[in-house]
Chain A
Amino acid sequence: SQELEQSPQSLIVQEGKNLTINCTSSKTLYGLYWYKQKYGEGLIFLMMLQKGGEEKSHEKITAKLDEKKQQSSLHITASQPSHAGIYLCGADRVSGNTPLVFGKGTRLSVIA
């Protein structure tokens, strides 16, 4: 079965600093999804990547899927307290419409 490993598990950064979160899959990624979750709340969809080498941005958050389609990175530029939360990557199990498998998440704290 496919597994997603996220690193780091937790991250504390100073406001204004850049950071990167990685998501590595044990199998080829057909679709890779990034979500953000605040404690005690549902997941908020950030972006989806499908093609090797694809890169998408939303405000100060950029995600990229590597050419071999087994790893994705999420990069936040000039972090702000509003970026704090848990970031989860999810992946299609096989090509097409099936439930996602998720990583365990990366907990991000941004300190002033």
Chain B
Amino acid sequence: SQTIHQWPATLVQPVGSPLSLECTVEGTSNPNLYWYRQAAGRGLQLLFYSVGIGQISSEVPQNLSASRPQDRQFILSSKKLLLSDSGFYLCAWSRQGYEQYFGPGTRLTVT
């Protein structure tokens, strides 16, 4: 069976500090991978998605970036965090044309 992991579960970072969130999927190969952010009152916002290693599509460029160094690893990064980056970050995976499965999420608070 497939499982998806995210870490850390919670993170408190000062404004201007860097960020690295990691997501890994087990039990499948060549998944599509997604990063979403969920902020209060704003629903689920797609940030990046990837259909293969090194292939990243950005929906919200701003100060965030994503990378996929391995087939089942997806990393969300920032060089300098803003207060507005606070939120609940969710990673998801899917097979081609099928439903997405979500990880447990990372709650980021930027202070």
Contact = CB atoms under 8 A, between A and B. Distances in A.
Interface of A: 33, 35, 40-45, 48, 88, 90, 96-97, 99-105
A48 B107 contact: no
B96 A97 contact: yes
B42 A97 contact: no
Contacts of A100: 46, 100
Interface residues of B, number: 25
Contacts, number: 49
Nearest to A42: B102
B99 A33 contact: yes
Contacts of B90: 42-43
A40 B49 CA distance: 22
B103 interface: yes
Contacts of B27: none
